[in-house]
Structure 1
Amino acid sequence: MTGDVRSFQGIPFAAPPTGDLRWRPPQPAARWREPLDATKPRGICAQLPSFGPGELQNEDCLYLNVTTPKRTHRPLPVMVWFHGGAFTSGAASMYDPVKLVTQGDVIVVTVAYRLGPLGFLATPDLTAEAGNQSGNYGLQDQLAGLRWVRRNAAAFGGNPGNVTIFGESAGAASVCDMIVSPLARGLFHKAIGQSFSCDANTSTPEAAYAAGAELSGKVGCTDLACLRATPVKELLEAWPGGFPVVGGRELPLQPPDAIRQDKYNHVPLVWGSNLDEMRLFVGLQYDGAGNPVTAQQYEQITRETFGPAADEVLARYPVGDYASPSVALATWQTDAPGPLSTCSHLNSYKLFTVKPFPVPVYAYQFTDRTAPPIVDWPGFDEGAAHAFELNYIWNPLFGPPLSERQEALSKAMVGYWTSFAHTGNPNDRGLPEWKSYKSDDDVQDLGLGTLRPTNPAVGSNCAFWAGLRR
């Protein structure tokens, strides 16, 4: 117990997925009779160095962490967090939920899940072994975590009938997947997604099998016994990347198709993106490597991307209109269709609100361009880039402390998030009104100015992108 919260860390929700359990659905955790030491997190899932905690080779990682108010006088809403990290990195234990718990009077559960090849490898042999499309072990872990919450929430003062799932980046992609997964039905009642559009498709079996074949070739394996005996580090280094795979019991349909066909779990949504999503990735690839984008490179990349339509894009995004060619590149990358795109997010809101089966959607755009950066590259304006809103929801994960004005924005965002967890509506006394999404004019601007509706479709040229023919 610390301050105004109680914290229970490192609770096993499934058996260690090691040995013969590598690439199998999560199995029940062993029961224990002696008191469990829940004073510190347990091992983090295997991953290579990135923004996460560094290189780790640990497979015994299916643990979750529960944080509650110091005193609970009634069953409280439970918020279950799936972390981001491109399905290859990150950790549930990185996120300190004290802001959410103390200000919002909620219980927060952060759930680990298998990453990289251990979570998302697909091969025909694995599919045949399971009798189900392979490649979704990480999603199966998340589902196991939600089932644990349903069974155990009441013991921590939570209401198993009022569960909100939320996540950022790959965590928000996971939330999309839970929304359309038949296996998640009844396990949650509200959902929040930060910076990933449910308008985006996930991996096909063909693409997933190609990645699996590439990994198998690199490690010199032709059967599952060889793969299961391969050291973790070799698998991590051979992994070409991958995502959850469509076509099995977890994801029968691509997420946007499931939503269009009304084959999804109808729950209220809070969903949004950041004003400058792609500046993080341009910074990582170019400025952070000491090679800022040049004007010539900007034109070359644009032409390689858009072919005959490049002249239209260059005319709409002239390099001289931006602080640098790197910023110019990140701007059209943020606007053009893609999983992190502003315009794709707006398209997804329309999917969810189309009649005859709409769900309530509260859409936002995070716009604080003074937000503490994950990495501060000299000479590059990171703006309101991907993941920069995280410090406003959680105790700071990176960068300098928030300023007084930023703390005020943080308080408002935590208020919106937790009010939504309580009632399915982010509005509460003392907070500026947040309208439900009916049109692109109803996106809440979460910035340092007055919190109010805005229309991101205008600034992101969404009509232009919708009409562009490549």
Structure 2
Amino acid sequence: MRTTTVGKGRRRALPVLVVLALVLAGCGRGQTATIDIPDDPGVVRTESGAVRGTVSADHRLFAGIPYAAPPVGALRWQPPAPVAQWSGFRDATQPGPRCIQDASNDVDRSETSEDCLTLNVWTPPPTGEPRPVMVWIHGGSFINGSGDIYNARRLASRGDMVVVTINYRLGALGFLAHPALGPAGDVGNYGLADQQAALRWVHDNIAAFGGDPDKVTIAGESAGGMAVCDHLVAPGSAGLFNAAIVQSGPCQAQYDLPTAERTSEKYAADAGCGDPATVAACLRGLPPERLQTPVLYGRIGTEQLSGPVTGTRTLPVDPMTGAARGVAANVPTMIGTTADEFTLFTALQYIRGRAFDATHYPELLSQAFGANAGVVAQQYPPDQFGGSVPLAYSAAVTDGVFACPADRLAGSLSTNQPVYFSEFDDPGAPAPEPLHTAPFPVGAGHSLELRYLFDVGGAPALDPAQQRLSDEMIDYWIGFISSGSPGAGWPAMHGDAGERISLQPNGNRVIADFGETHRCDFWAGLKS
């Protein structure tokens, strides 16, 4: 007997920071009665039980599969525990709820829950041949987002590979580092531990979905890119992946344990859990809605974020230091940025009423660069950007926070392993309509390259030249995930030397002036 399950499509409103809208099938969640379907491509047996997903002509989707026990009650702020076995067939036709997240910055009104440690598996039609695997870690400043907003149909079907998208604990529930919550020196990285648990699930189960557990690439953008950097140096991630992709990950923006503990102690006190004798029980007794406000360890320009904590057993060293010392995982790595990273954030802040004018320029730079604001202002005067304060400010943060740290990371990693560096540079990249109300161009802003890789909505369609670029970008990723190299025409870096590729609709090209364009000598001198 052979049956398939096909769900009805639905769209969700999503935060623009992680792009918008994903069509996913949905019929309900939970368990179904045990039935005998020995050859149904919509049914897969995992180590915890069987799941029934959706089947289409060019792909399969198994959504909302739990990879760890619900981190609730006594398991709140604990490492992820094994998922319980189930009988029958678990319905895997729609994603699980998003993890609890920042309600003040959330335009996605779909369900959230502490019971959120699920993943989605996209596969091409089964053939019996093991396929390479990509595990995607979503962005959102470690305070927002979910794995199910990334429709990986094109990557799976065009690339003949398996794509896994994951949820992980966010904000305070994922990264609160109060010393009362765990062993000394090992608090604050619950969301990172969730990602490791998902990678272990992939190692143990992905063969049943047609994937090759010995050919796993971890990939992520923004906060997800930062997480990939962390896995490159985290002891518990060793051996769980064979290649890495870092997209727009400001991997220098990590937080040390003393800073995180001080911030977390204040967070607990503000939540009414300030008594040292009872703080852990008090925090674990709070309703989850009291923990929607994220713990914020720092900022990137105008943006605040949570995130993993360095100087801990889970993450002993920050990834920039680890890469410079040669202790990062020795795996092929792709590193990508966008040409105008911070214009998207500047546009969002402008829409929300933030002033970007000459009077406020010193304040903006001070917020982003502290005591270095004055020398940054001299290096990035608005008159070099057509008199535009928003563009001058965006260029400074793009260069100082994204472009040059990424280039420095690539240089460190490439002394021991092949590294392929790219800059997405489509000045007309489709952006969500609200961003067009800003009085300056967003250009190739942060996250806008993602709709060239995943099926997403919320912005105008790609034109023919952009569609060509999209196909080329997907093919580069396919080559890298399959073989460790994106293919001919994209040379690997070797230390600080080597080439970077510029991804453009009118033809990709190798660029030799990345450092000059982004003033990396200035930022290197400022850092020291």
Which residue matches 2:516? Answer: 458
Task: Confirm or deny: 8 A CA contact 1:95 1:397 kept in the other structure.
Answer: no
User: Structure 1's 139 and 443: CA in aligned 2 closer, same or farther, altered over 3 A?
Assistant: same
Structure 1 residues 60-459: aligned runs within 5 Å:
60-128=115-183, 133-198=186-251, 200-221=252-273, 222=275, 223-237=279-293, 239-241=295-297, 242-285=306-349, 287-302=350-365, 312-323=375-386, 324-336=388-400, 338=401, 341-354=402-415, 358-374=416-432, 375-378=434-437, 379-427=439-487, 433-438=489-494, 439=496, 442-454=499-511, 455-459=513-517
For residues 403-456 of structure 1, give each alpha carbon's deviation from its aligned partner in whole angstroms, at most 9, with x where no partner exists: 11111111001000111000000016xxxx101013465111011122111131
User: Which whole-Å CA distance do the structure 1 matches of 2:370 and 2:418 have between them?
Assistant: 39
Q: TM-score, normalised by structure 2?
A: 0.82
Task: Confirm or deny: 8 A CA contact 1:194 1:271 kept in the other structure.
Answer: yes
Which residue identity is paired with 1:173? M
**Helix, strand or coil: the match of 1:376?**
helix
Tell me, which stretches of 5 or more residues in structure 2 are unaligned? Answer: 1-54, 298-305
User: Which whole-Å CA distance do the structure 1 matches of 2:260 and 2:518 have between them?
Assistant: 32
- Report which of the two has the higher share of strand: 2
User: Which whole-Å CA distance do the structure 1 matches of 2:86 and 2:459 have between them?
Assistant: 40
Offset at 1:469? 8.0
User: Which whole-Å CA distance do the structure 1 matches of 2:472 and 2:320 have between them?
Assistant: 31
User: Which whole-Å CA distance do the structure 2 matches of 1:208 and 1:415 have between them?
Assistant: 40
User: Which whole-Å CA distance do the structure 2 matches of 1:160 and 1:14 have between them?
Assistant: 19
Tell me, which stretches of 5 or more residues in structure 1 are unaligned? Answer: none
Task: Confirm or deny: 8 A CA contact 1:172 1:196 kept in the other structure.
Answer: yes
User: Which whole-Å CA distance do the structure 1 matches of 2:459 and 2:98 have between them?
Assistant: 22
For residues 32-56 of structure 1, give each alpha carbon's deviation from its aligned partner in whole angstroms, at most 9, with x where no partner exists: 1111101111111011243662485
For residues 303-344 of structure 1, give each alpha carbon's deviation from its aligned partner in whole angstroms, at most 9, with x where no partner exists: 7766886665444323123252111111111112x3xx2111
**Helix, strand or coil: the match of 1:139?**
helix
Offset at 1:345? 1.0
**Helix, strand or coil: the match of 1:36?**
strand
Which residue identity is paired with 2:471? K
User: Which whole-Å CA distance do the structure 1 matches of 2:497 and 2:398 have between them?
Assistant: 17
Tell me if 1:2 matches 2:61.
no
User: Structure 1's 214 and 68: CA in aligned 2 closer, same or farther, altered over 3 A?
Assistant: same
User: Structure 1's 263 and 325: CA in aligned 2 closer, same or farther, altered over 3 A?
Assistant: same
User: Structure 1's 397 and 164: CA in aligned 2 closer, same or farther, altered over 3 A?
Assistant: farther
Offset at 1:294? 1.2
User: Which whole-Å CA distance do the structure 2 matches of 1:249 and 1:308 have between them?
Assistant: 32
User: Which whole-Å CA distance do the structure 2 matches of 1:449 and 1:306 have between them?
Assistant: 35
Task: Confirm or deny: 8 A CA contact 1:191 1:270 kept in the other structure.
Answer: yes
User: Which whole-Å CA distance do the structure 2 matches of 1:112 and 1:304 have between them?
Assistant: 31
For residues 288-307 of structure 1, give each alpha carbon's deviation from its aligned partner in whole angstroms, at most 9, with x where no partner exists: 12444112322554477668
Which residue identity is paired with 1:282? T
Task: Confirm or deny: 8 A CA contact 1:52 1:85 kept in the other structure.
Answer: no
Which residue matches 2:32? Answer: none
User: Which whole-Å CA distance do the structure 1 matches of 2:359 and 2:189 have between them?
Assistant: 41
**Helix, strand or coil: the match of 2:100?**
coil
User: Which whole-Å CA distance do the structure 1 matches of 2:86 and 2:371 have between them?
Assistant: 64
Task: Confirm or deny: 8 A CA contact 2:465 2:506 kept in the other structure.
Answer: no
Task: Confirm or deny: 8 A CA contact 1:197 1:348 kept in the other structure.
Answer: no
Task: Confirm or deny: 8 A CA contact 1:201 1:254 kept in the other structure.
Answer: no
Root-mean-square deviation over aligned CA pairs: 2.1
Which residue matches 1:41? Answer: 95
